[in-house]
Amino acid sequence: MTTNSGFTRTALEVAEANGDQSGKVFLITGAYSGIGVETTKALLKINAQVILAGRNAQAMNIFVEGLAKAGYDAALIDAAGPLCDLTDLNTVNEFAAYVKKRYTKVDVVLLNAGVMMTPVGVTKQGYEIQVGTNVLGHFLLANTLLPITSRQVWVSSKAYEMSGGKNFDFNWFQNFRAETEEEKKAYDSMFAYQQSKLGNILLAKEFAKRDERNAAVKLEAVSLHPGIIDTNLSRHLGSATKGIFTVLGWVGILSKKTVEQGAATSVTCATAVSVTNGAYYDDCEPARFEHGNATNEADAIRLFDLCVELTKDFM
């Protein structure tokens, strides 16, 4: 392995150290944006077949054209599927059907796309926009592809510890509809983001545990914190919030990574020969500490079962 620390290691360094991935199939959501770009490039450099998922056809086309101009092997890039908009479970279902029809196996599903601290809103099916996108949309994709998947990699965030490290609020999520002015004014975008990133970790742990109870599935599932990175994920942050993050970086409380460094943990979890099943990764290795809200087994089971119920009509 490279001698760089887990913090400074780049996605390409990790990929080259973990070796050739010829014959393996990887699927990544949000492939054309943020750390998805560097994750995709690193996988292609080591001969992986990569299925690209996204909701913006124009952005996808521009990204694929850029890959071609940069000399990446077009035969390894599958951007032919229908749009996969995580805010609309119908499109997730259609994309998953495309993948299952074309592939008999997907070695790794990277659940990478996401939204952060958005204005108040709901998904196409009426669920709070951040949990609905980051958690529910990804759950439907992951669960539908489960029979042909060997490993899931859920991109979460250390933000799951924010808002006081609150546990998943099932009552809030199941009842929030943003239909009244009072509800809209009370909306806390940071809390909603914290809930969504906590949900990613809980689902990864429960997918891993259900695999242990069902040896026929043979699934590994992990979640990760990519680091503090400047990408368009933060486009909804207000200037004051961005200023706080900048100051924290200056004084050393928060250290920022480049996008290439931010994608390194994703590539580690995707290409390592084996991972610590159910673990939450940080700086390319299992985190030494997890907040108690992420280790609540009852919440993980309850959230998984709730996601099954809410997506059953789209399976």
Active site residue 193: yes
Question: Which is catalytic among the residues 32, 127, 160, 193?
Answer: 193
Q: Residue 52: beta bridge partners?
A: 28
Both tokens assigned to 72:
């990446």
Q: What gap in Å lies between CA 179 and CA 170, rounded to an integer?
A: 18
Helix axes 11-18, 35-45, angle to 10 degrees: 30
Q: How many CB atoms lie within 10 A of CB 56?
A: 14
The amino acid sitting at 104 is: T
Question: Residue 252 and residue 209: Cα distance in Å, rounded?
Answer: 37
Please report where in the chains the tokens 């699934």 appear, as a residue: 219
- Count of positions (residues) in the chain: 315
Q: What distance in Å separates the CA atoms of residue 164 and residue 169, rounded to the nearest whole number?
A: 13
Task: Let me know: does 219 contact 143? Beta carbons within 8 Å.
Answer: no
* Residue 258 burial class via C-beta count within 10 angstroms: exposed 0-12, middle 13-18, buried 19 and up: middle
- Helix, strand, coil percentages, rounded to 5, for the chain: 50, 15, 35
Amino acid at 147: P
Distance separating alpha carbons of residues 269 and 111, to the nearest angstrom? 12
Q: Coil, helix or strand for 29?
A: strand
* Beta strand pairing call for 256-257 and 228-229: parallel
Q: Which residues are catalytic?
A: 193
